[in-house]
Amino acid sequence: MNEGLQMVVEALRGAMGDGRYTTRQMEDMLDSFFGYRCPDDLSRSLNKLRLMGLICGEVDREQACWVWWVEKKKDDQSE
């Protein structure tokens, strides 16, 4: 993984922890943690990261939206 993407994933991991968040919650989180709102469609950007295998996401049928999370690092899963 290139260094820039690695930094993005680490930043998301730090902000998200073990939680699962809707796209709307992600927008608010990015704004509060980093003072930044994605200039593109955030769901599109998150989906690109998901397709690359860098984050996880699925449709939550009850909430009728996408839910996103970051898997623990492989070395963290042994804890």
Domain boundaries, the chain: 3-76
Coarse DSSP helix, strand, coil percentages of the chain, rounded to the nearest 5 percent = 50, 15, 35
Tens of pLDDT, residue by residue over 22-59, are: 999 999 998 998 888 777 788 999 999 999 999 999 99
Average pLDDT, the chain: 88
Is 76 a residue whose pLDDT tops 60?
Answer: no
Percent of all residues in the chain with a pLDDT value above 90, rounded to a whole number: 63
Q: What's the rounded mean pLDDT across residues 2-31?
A: 92
Q: CA-based Rg of the chain, rounded to a whole angstrom?
A: 12
Name the residue with tokens 């996880």: 56
> What CATH number belongs to 3-76?
1.10.10
User: Half-sphere exposure (CA, 13 Å, Cβ side) for 54?
Assistant: 19
Its pTM stands at 0.81
